């Protein structure tokens, strides 16, 4: 347990100079085991308790407690199941707010005391209220901060940035006292109410403070003079190109506040990886960054996740109050049997880094030595899937066939590659590809690019030789206009399937069917190779899509992609297709 040795700390361990400190209370309860946290957060708390003894650091609770009071009295939740209820902060949230604001150092350049922590990294598992909390802090800063405070919400994509902005705006709208002195439009949130305008003062049009949103894909970020920058889900950022303009934009302020909030991710050597490496050097005493508040809710090992659910709170401080324990139990149970679920749960629910080199499927998942003869499916209907490659790359085409009363999906497939591509392969790959060509798994297009008419010819051949009629074919390349027209001239119905998060559900179904041995792909070696090469990409909504393993562009995933595309067409048209199968 912490010994309160600072001269100004009172006998009551949660008090400093007669003021109750939520941070001290949190530290003491973590130290005596009443609250369970991980080693990394404990290290930061140990560093913070030393500030109470440091004569060069002044402790001033006014700004922190003012913002805590603002959040609890002015802000209301806007989403179920807490919609309309006051935003009453948990102890860990109050301690976090205090840690940002109460420590001050004297700045000789501007000749006054200023906030110590100007850079904040907040890592916590999903569904623990991180976005609402930071949104509430931003809104509190907007109202409690100085006149002209400009705040910028950012993220990797516009939708995620909008989540924080909408959280701020919804809290503003829920409060009559806040909404009557502000206004919002598509450009942002501003002071001044057009219906009841004030001529002067903080809540008038003369206050040029504003809250806006941008994404990593938004241009013209340089030149913005902001006081508060908050970047959500930084784990999705590949580098610091979208971060640096925001950090530079706050540099002109005497007391800027730059906050990064996130869960762990799966991007290899991305921005968060580098940021966490630096953060851990600070915690280990290898790097001096006194202005940086590093607040990490992390597990001490993956083993404790599986062995002791009492340890889950280390990465989930809101467990049981904000985040349902039953929900997390369900996620953990599902992750025991699903590789994709495990990757997601470990990174998003426990902040345990998952390498995006992690394969989507295991060897056992892929293994299926069942075979079939196309004669068995003479005059049947099928679902098509095509991945039309870039110039000089692999192209894949396949048809899913089914039988009435049989849950299995039987796949006939063909791959295509330009002749020039074979010449540029490594010795090992060249040998492999030549074997596939010889065995009839791979068709070679003359020259430097794939001839998509050979893909059309393959579908036509299935019909002419076996009477297999393809009900509908999904394809991913929007620019393949002539191929689509050619297919339609032969009477094939085609439908573009974007390679985006809409592939999530069919991808999950492919995984489940492979694990259940319900996909019979005739033991095709290229299919097997593509499945083995496929890695996972996730977003914050738990959607997934296939991707290449980072740094291994020579490993192809086209066969996995076309399987998922075909499954997307199957899922969207299942009722009509099964009627055709049952004829």
pLDDT, one tens digit per residue, over 324-368 is 999 999 999 998 888 778 888 999 999 998 776 667 888 889 999
Of 58 and 427, the one with more pLDDT:
58
Of 81 and 544, the one with more pLDDT:
544
What backbone phi and psi angles, to 5 degrees, belong to 418?
-70, 150
Of 495 and 389, the one with more pLDDT:
495
Cα dihedral: 232, 287, 291, 39 (round 10)? 60
Closest CA to 250 of 119, 103, 107: 119
At residue 5, does pLDDT exceed 50?
no
pLDDT value at position 429?
A: 84
pLDDT digits (tens, 9 = 90+) for 242-269: 788 888 888 788 899 999 999 998 777 8
Residue in this structure with the two tokens 């989540």, named with its chain if needed: 163
pLDDT value at position 216?
A: 61
All residues at 6 or more sequence positions from 69 whose CB lies less than 8 Å from its CB, including other chains:
none
Greatest alpha-carbon pair distance for the chain in Å reads: 91
Tell me the average pLDDT across 391-414.
93
Tell me the average pLDDT across 371-384.
96
The fraction of the chain above a pLDDT of 90, given in percent, is 67
At residue 395, does pLDDT exceed 60?
yes
Compute the mean pLDDT over every residue in the chain, rounded to the nearest whole number: 90
Tell me the average pLDDT across 517-541.
90
User: What are the residue ranges spanned by the domains of the chain?
Assistant: 15-304+308-314, 363-581
How far is C-alpha 309 from the chain's CA centre? 24
Cα dihedral: 309, 311, 315, 318 (round 10)? 70
The fraction of the chain above a pLDDT of 70, given in percent, is 94
pLDDT value at position 13?
A: 74
pLDDT digits (tens, 9 = 90+) for 476-490: 876 688 899 999 999
Structure tokens at 507: 């991808």
pLDDT band at 116 (very low <50, low <70, confident <90, very high): very high
pLDDT band at 529 (very low <50, low <70, confident <90, very high): very high
Tell me the average pLDDT across 397-412.
96
Which residue(s) pair with 123 in the sheet? 262, 296
At residue 471, does pLDDT exceed 90?
yes
pLDDT value at position 253?
A: 86
What's the CATH fold of domain 15-304+308-314? Rossmann fold (3.40.50)
As a CATH number, domain 363-581 is 3.30.420.240
Q: Give the Cα separation of 537 and 374 in Å (integer).
A: 35
Q: Give the Cα separation of 270 and 309 in Å (integer).
A: 30
pLDDT value at position 280?
A: 97
At residue 566, does pLDDT exceed 70?
yes
- In angstroms, what CA-CA distances link 550 with 93, 217, 358, 503? 36, 21, 10, 20
pLDDT band at 218 (very low <50, low <70, confident <90, very high): low
pLDDT digits (tens, 9 = 90+) for 261-296: 999 987 778 899 999 999 999 999 999 999 999 999
All residues at 6 or more sequence positions from 298 whose CB lies less than 8 Å from its CB, including other chains:
38, 40, 41, 123, 314, 315, 351, 352
What's 341's DSSP letter?
A: H
pLDDT value at position 357?
A: 63
């Amino acid at each position: 347990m912490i010994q309160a040795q600072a001269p100004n700390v009172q006998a009551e361990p949660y008090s400093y100079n007669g003021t109750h400190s939520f941070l001290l209370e949190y530290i003491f309860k973590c130290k005596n085991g009443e609250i369970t946290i991980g080693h990394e957060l404990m290290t930061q708390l140990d560093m913070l308790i030393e500030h109470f003894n440091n004569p060069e650091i002044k402790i001033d609770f006014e700004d922190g407690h003012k913002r805590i009071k603002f959040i609890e009295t002015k802000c209301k939740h806007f989403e179920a199941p807490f919609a309309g209820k006051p935003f009453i902060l948990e102890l860990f949230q109050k301690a976090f707010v205090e840690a940002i604001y109460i420590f001050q150092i004297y700045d000789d350049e501007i000749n006054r005391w200023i906030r110590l922590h100007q850079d904040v990294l907040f890592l916590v598992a999903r569904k623990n209220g991180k976005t609402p909390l930071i949104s509430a802090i931003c809104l509190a800063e907007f109202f409690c901060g100085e006149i002209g405070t400009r705040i910028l919400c950012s993220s990797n994509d516009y939708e995620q940035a909008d989540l924080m902005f909408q959280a701020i705006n919804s809290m503003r709208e829920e409060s009559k006292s806040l909404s009557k002195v502000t206004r919002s439009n598509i450009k942002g949130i501003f002071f001044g109410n057009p219906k009841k305008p004030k001529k002067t003062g903080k809540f008038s049009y003369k206050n040029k403070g504003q809250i806006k949103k941008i994404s990593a894909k938004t241009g013209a970020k340089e030149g913005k003079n902001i006081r508060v920058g908050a970047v959500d889900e930084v784990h999705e950022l590949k580098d610091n190109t979208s971060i640096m303009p925001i950090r530079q934009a706050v540099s002109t302020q005497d007391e800027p506040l730059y906050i990064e909030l996130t869960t762990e991710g799966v991007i290899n050597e991305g921005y968060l990886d580098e940021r966490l490496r630096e953060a851990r050097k600070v915690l280990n005493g290898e790097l001096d960054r006194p202005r940086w508040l590093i607040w990490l809710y992390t597990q001490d090992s993956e083993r404790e996740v599986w062995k002791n659910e009492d340890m889950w709170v280390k990465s989930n401080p809101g467990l049981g109050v904000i985040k349902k324990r039953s929900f997390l139990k369900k996620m953990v149970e599902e992750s025991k049997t699903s590789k994709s679920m495990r990757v997601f749960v470990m990174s998003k629910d426990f902040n345990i880094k998952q390498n995006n080199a992690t394969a989507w499927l295991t060897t056992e998942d892929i293994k299926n030595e069942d075979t079939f003869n196309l004669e068995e499916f003479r005059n049947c209907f099928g679902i098509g899937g095509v991945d039309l490659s870039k110039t000089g790359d692999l192209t894949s085409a396949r048809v899913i066939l089914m039988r009435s009363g049989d849950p299995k999906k039987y796949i006939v497939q063909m791959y295509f590659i330009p002749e020039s591509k074979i010449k540029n392969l490594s010795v090992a790959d060249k040998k492999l590809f030549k074997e596939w060509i010889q065995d009839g798994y791979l068709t070679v297009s003359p020259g430097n690019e794939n001839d998509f008419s050979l893909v059309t010819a393959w579908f036509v051949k299935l019909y002419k030789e076996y009477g297999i009629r393809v009900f509908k074919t999904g394809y991913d390349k929007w620019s393949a206009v002539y191929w689509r027209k050619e297919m339609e001239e032969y009477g094939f119905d085609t439908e573009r399937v974007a390679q985006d998060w809409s592939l999530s559900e069919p991808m999950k179904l492919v995984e489940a069917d492979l694990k259940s041995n319900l996909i019979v792909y005739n033991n095709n070696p290229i299919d097997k190779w593509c499945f083995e090469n496929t890695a996972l990409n996730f977003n914050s909504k738990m959607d997934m899509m296939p991707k290449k393993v980072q740094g291994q562009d020579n490993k192809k995933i086209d066969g996995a992609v076309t399987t998922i595309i075909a499954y997307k067409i199957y899922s969207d048209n299942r009722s009509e297709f099964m009627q055709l199968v049952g004829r």
